[in-house]
Structure 1
Amino acid sequence: MSDPVILIVSAQHADFLLDEFGRYARDYDLRTAGSSAGALAEIHAVREAGGSVALIVQDGDLPDAHPLAAFGEWRAKVPTARRVVAAPYERFLVQAAELRPGLAKGKYDAYLLMPRGVRDEEFHGAITELLSDWGSTVAAPEVETVRIVAPPGLPLTASIREYTERMGMPTRVFAPDTDEGRETIAEHEAAGLTTSFPLLRVMTRGTHTPATVRDVALHLFATPETTTVDEVVDLAIVGAGPAGLAAAVYGASEGLTTVVLEAEAVGGQAGTSSMIRNYLGFPRGVSGMRLSQRARNQAIRFGARFLTGWEVTALEPAPEHGGTHLLHTDGGLVQARSVVVATGVAYRKLGVPGVEDLVGLGVHYGSAMTAARETEGYDVVVVGGGNSAGQAAIHLAKFARTVTIMVRRASLEETMSSYLVGEIAYNPRITVQTCVEVADGGGEGRLEWLDVRDVGTGRVTRRDAQALFLLLGAAPHCDWLPDDLARDDHGFVLTGRDVPREGWADDRPPANLATTVPGVFAVGDIRAGSMKRVASASGEGASVVPLVHTWLAP
């Protein structure tokens, strides 16, 4: 397979930029063009040869097209390519006011100052970020960490691949009759084991035939150090979404013995986001997977322990101040002086039998990043009006022929951030269908059609759809919490002044993030009244640690 292309488009600076990009020549095919038309010719040649374009760089001054219009033409031909303006020093500030608004519309990905000297690592840091994002979301992994061997049509295969890639582990799937499939089966049977599918081979763990995603989590991460928790820890965090990860980083960094219990993949719902563009400090955006794995590694560096695949089934509160809370899990008993509940929320189920039967066979809950690559040429439907749905639609539009966002409301503006609404409006592959809901779906072995109901008139129409992504809002999971921990009518945990007065102690409300069970706190989406944003969840995770310190103080 040919190397992916970095295309440099400039009438005046092509040679300079080609030299500047020389450090990428080993892994990428560097090409130049002097105009927008020349760039289109190069793109056509790459596509005809079966190649791919990873990055297009222009200097913001093309002889035959406005720079933003050129990006629009190029994106129509190679929608997955990342796009950059590298403006020369003399035009960087002059053009900024005109070109930078295009970033908010998603017309291109970065506005950079062209390097003026050697080792401009600020420039190349931005470039490598974009190439890394392209490599993790578009290109097939060059080197696999996890190999899955399975025949087509197994829903569990898709779920496992989604899990491993959310955990930052490059994964490839092979049919049993491929060379890689036969090799893995032979290795498995040579160990005296019976083959069933899906069959996994993990880097240093040999082969494995899981029955559930949780089996995979335990196989990957269960080591002698993570299968027992003998001591009483200062802080047990249940859930490793943004709130739980922030609590782990701050708790461990401040000397608390910290354990994080996560039943599924690190990152929670945020971990499925293809690109979070409004998180502080990431001007070019960051994928939920990368943000989550960086936070996990940061917490581990400070000494936090992660017990992945451990589902908490019950919390037995300490009988008195200074006592020990008991967390009952599938992996054993965890004893903690304080507990932070950060389990987040799950997507609500659609509840349509024809659709539910096809989960993993064209129907996905969440943005299912790994499934996006397989939607090329598909007509895709995204159901949901929140930011996660908007991010999913924009990512899917890089691959699918069409993407339709369906919502029951009259518009997206009520529930989605303005920057996403603007980017969706600009993207010609995305349409928004309001005041509708999915009534039914079906197909021969996988999704092929949907029945769509107008919520005002009740009229049902049938349409083609080869993929459906359901992002239907928040459903809390806290059946494992004790009955005396107060929750609202929807099941979200009450904290601080939201606790009814009869739940106050000594006529004083609990602390801001404290629950009605002393020594138990709640942060992030599981908390009633939370903002349902990554940044606010992270802030609550950090803010809860001083409250934990106060609780643990003599």
Structure 2
Amino acid sequence: MTAPQLPPVAALAERSEHLVDPGAPAILCLTAENADVLRAQFSRYAAEYALHIETSPQSVVDCLEALEAAGAPIALFVLDTSIGFEELGSALPMFRRLVPTANRLAVTPWGLFMEHLETFRHKVAKGAFDAHLMMPRGIRDEEFHSAVVELLNDWGSTVAAPLVETVRIVAPTEDAAVRRLRDFLFRTGSPHRFYTPDSPIGQEVIASYEGETGLFPLVRLADLPAQHCPDARTLARAVYGRPDLQALADVTEVLDVIVVGAGPAGLAACVYAASEGLSTLALEAEVIGGQAGTSSMIRNYLGFPRGISGMRLTTRARTQAVRFGTRFFTGWPVEELVPGADGAPHQVRTEAGTLLARTVVIATGVAYRRLGVDALEELVGHGVHYGAAMSSAPEVEGRDVIVVGGGNSAGQAAIHLARFASSVTLVVRREDLRTSMSAYLITELEANPRITVRGCTRVVDGGASEGELEWVDLEDIATGERERRRVGGLYLLLGAEPHCDWLPDAVCRDDRGFVLTGRDVPPEHWSGEVPPADLETAVPGVYCAGDVRSGSMKRVASATGEGAAVVSLVHEHLAAL
């Protein structure tokens, strides 16, 4: 490629339709015949994005070089498919390599849409594009622009540095504790940034802290005084309104339903229960959204044809539940459930006190199973992560990473990390992914040149350099042969493990600890001659929904379905009382 002759800023100014700032994120369009249409449609974004209209693949490459030299990121690449399939075939792999973190949109003029639909449907399925839309034929095509805004929103929340910081974190180093806080904030959609104590903003945050000096990490929300937040649970109490001991103790009435856990199943139960007039309270130990909130993009959720991130899905669900009257108490794990006898309310005990409810929905979800390799457990937060750890993805730019796991969450994590890492190896114990992962994800993984799937393999060892993960050993399960790989990150999504130690023995569980419901409850634990209802536990009035339930599908859609369905059983129980 030939470097631009002009200085970076001058080169951009010459190329740009609207240059708001040399470093502003760019919307880059490639079109041969529809420049006027795209210029008119995308001009509404020109106040905050630099708009570039290019007419050939080579001019796009020149523009990309100028943008890179000026330090300007590309937020959205828009391709007019009428430039021809032959040019597309050679240009697409190059553009994907040059702008891996940009979202990609294909647009087709109305007259060619049906002709191009099948080709680009497959390209979207393989991840070459994030969406394929019909080019607007007039003004105010808000359906088109809603898709554009979604793509820009996704880029802004996963790639771009925040311009407005809701939360500031101050600590001497960005250690494991800080990274857990950042991951929590990422999952809640809270724009944030890390500062050291000797920085001007770090000094400002420290000055607002009224507690003991020398404690870190300090967290400051907006203009409130800084707080010491050593863990995500403390931060959760701050972010979600600081429900202190007195606030929870003030809930003295007998509630219709308490939902324990605010993942997809718990949120759905909250929405449907509160919308039908039931007094509803949700208890969440850490982050609202659960594991689903770590999913970078869920593409098979009903009603979201272009996909939706787990963070946005669960944040919207919480807002919906609050609108109907659900009260959320975050940062207070449940310590014990004491079933009520003879129609008496159930007791839900926390550190802050005891809550009373006529019904209880268990929706605590699951945690990722531990790897069990001591050398790697010591590096958690230092290059080793349980879960997708989306906040750390930009840190692995240009490095090789490994994702361990065969479920949908692992596939989604691999695709997201491939936007930044030079290579992603997905390690699974099975021969392949067909029995554990959705087909749409397998298709996208196979089509991504940065991702390799390695079956019949496990991680058996690892080591660090200067406190950060540097290498791991992979072992072939069949032959026992080992290979040492230098890596910049290890992401462990190893399957489901319930944490139900707070439940009484009366709530039956299977041999893996998952809660039994319906006909799976042993007959000797039935309260009468008929088994409990499908989502009811062995204790009348105590229900279970989502991943923590024995036999559940471990999918977001099925969890929300169970959470909604359980409310009809709650109504039946309340009517009987």
Same-fold call, TM > 0.5?
Answer: yes
SS in 1 for 2:469: coil
Show CA shifts across 1:114-152 (max 9, x none): 111211110100000000000000001110111011233
Change (3 A) 1:37 1:65: farther
Is 1:217 the counterpart of 2:236 in the alignment? Answer: yes
Q: CA deviation at 1:463?
A: 1.0
SS in 2 for 1:42: helix
Partner AA of 1:297 in structure 2: T
- Summarize the alignment of residues 288-437 of structure 1 with structure 2, pairs less than 5 Å apart: 288-321=310-343, 323-437=344-458
> Which of 124, 127, 130 is residue 106 of structure 1 equivalent to?
127
- Normalising by the residue count of structure 2, what TM-score does the alignment of the two structures yield? 0.93
Whether contact under 8 Å (1:447, 1:467) holds in the other structure is yes
Q: CA deviation at 1:69?
A: 4.7
Distance 1:385 1:226 in 2: 42
Distance 2:351 2:450 in 1: 45
> Which of 509, 519, 524 is residue 497 of structure 1 equivalent to?
519
Q: CA deviation at 1:93?
A: 1.6
Partner AA of 2:44 in structure 1: R
* Residue equivalent to 1:466: 488
Show CA shifts across 1:131-181 (max 9, x none): 000000000111011101123341000000111221221111112232222
SS in 2 for 1:271: helix
Change (3 A) 1:303 1:360: same
Change (3 A) 1:114 1:76: same
Whether contact under 8 Å (1:262, 1:311) holds in the other structure is yes
Distance 1:272 1:123 in 2: 27
SS in 2 for 1:448: strand
Change (3 A) 1:452 1:142: same
Show CA shifts across 1:212-238 (max 9, x none): 221111233214795332211100000
Whether contact under 8 Å (1:274, 1:391) holds in the other structure is yes
* Residue equivalent to 2:556: 534
- Summarize the alignment of residues 179-218 of structure 1 with structure 2, pairs less than 5 Å apart: 179-188=200-209, 191=210, 193-218=212-237
Distance 1:553 1:69 in 2: 66
Is 1:76 the counterpart of 2:97 in the alignment? Answer: yes
Q: CA deviation at 1:63?
A: 5.3
Whether contact under 8 Å (2:398, 2:420) holds in the other structure is yes
Q: CA deviation at 1:515?
A: 0.4
> Which of 503, 527, 531 is residue 481 of structure 1 equivalent to?
503
SS in 2 for 1:252: helix
* Residue equivalent to 1:515: 537
* Residue equivalent to 2:151: 130
Is 1:548 the counterpart of 2:570 in the alignment? Answer: yes
SS in 2 for 1:3: coil
Is 1:454 the counterpart of 2:473 in the alignment? Answer: no
Change (3 A) 1:548 1:402: same
Change (3 A) 1:87 1:360: same
Q: CA deviation at 1:207?
A: 0.3
Distance 1:283 1:350 in 2: 35
Partner AA of 1:203 in structure 2: A
> Which of 33, 39, 42 is residue 12 of structure 1 equivalent to?
33
Distance 1:377 1:245 in 2: 38
Distance 2:168 2:293 in 1: 21
* Residue equivalent to 2:309: 287
SS in 1 for 2:83: coil
SS in 2 for 1:74: helix
Change (3 A) 1:226 1:480: same
Whether contact under 8 Å (2:367, 2:499) holds in the other structure is yes
* Residue equivalent to 1:251: 273
* Residue equivalent to 2:10: none
Partner AA of 2:219 in structure 1: L
SS in 1 for 2:81: coil
SS in 2 for 1:414: coil
Whether contact under 8 Å (1:37, 1:64) holds in the other structure is no
Q: CA deviation at 1:51?
A: 1.2
Change (3 A) 1:470 1:100: same
SS in 2 for 1:525: coil
* Residue equivalent to 1:161: 182
Distance 1:374 1:330 in 2: 37
- Summarize the alignment of residues 31-46 of structure 1 with structure 2, pairs less than 5 Å apart: 31-46=52-67
Distance 2:92 2:193 in 1: 32
Distance 2:32 2:114 in 1: 20
Show CA shifts across 1:217-274 (max 9, x none): 1233214795332211100000001000000000000000000100011111111000
Q: CA deviation at 1:24?
A: 0.3
Distance 1:356 1:192 in 2: 32
- Normalising by the residue count of structure 1, what TM-score does the alignment of the two structures yield? 0.97
Distance 1:192 1:272 in 2: 32
Q: CA deviation at 1:4?
A: 0.3
SS in 2 for 1:11: coil
Q: CA RMSD in A?
A: 1.4
Is 1:231 the counterpart of 2:268 in the alignment? Answer: no
Structure 1 segments unaligned to the other structure (5+ residues) = none
Distance 2:89 2:140 in 1: 28
Q: CA deviation at 1:101?
A: 1.4
Q: CA deviation at 1:195?
A: 3.1
Change (3 A) 1:483 1:69: farther
Partner AA of 1:222 in structure 2: R
SS in 2 for 1:237: strand
Distance 1:408 1:192 in 2: 49
Distance 1:165 1:204 in 2: 20
Whether contact under 8 Å (1:453, 1:459) holds in the other structure is yes
Distance 1:502 1:192 in 2: 55
Change (3 A) 1:205 1:187: closer
Distance 1:7 1:65 in 2: 20
Total equivalences in the alignment = 551
Show CA shifts across 1:385-437 (max 9, x none): 00000000000000011111011111111211111111111111111111111
Whether contact under 8 Å (1:525, 1:532) holds in the other structure is yes
Show CA shifts across 1:276-303 (max 9, x none): 0000011111000000000000000000
Partner AA of 2:533 in structure 1: A
Which deviates more from structure 2 when the two are superposed, residues 379-388 or residues 42-51? 42-51
Partner AA of 2:216 in structure 1: F
Partner AA of 1:367 in structure 2: A
Whether contact under 8 Å (1:232, 1:324) holds in the other structure is yes
SS in 1 for 2:308: coil
Identity %: 54
Q: CA deviation at 1:531?
A: 0.4
Partner AA of 1:178 in structure 2: S
- Summarize the alignment of residues 48-63 of structure 1 with structure 2, pairs less than 5 Å apart: 48-62=69-83
Change (3 A) 1:239 1:69: farther
Whether contact under 8 Å (1:242, 1:270) holds in the other structure is yes
Distance 1:283 1:194 in 2: 51
Distance 1:143 1:198 in 2: 20
> Which of 262, 278, 293 is residue 240 of structure 1 equivalent to?
262
Distance 1:192 1:416 in 2: 49
Distance 2:474 2:120 in 1: 40
Whether contact under 8 Å (1:153, 1:361) holds in the other structure is no
Partner AA of 2:485 in structure 1: R
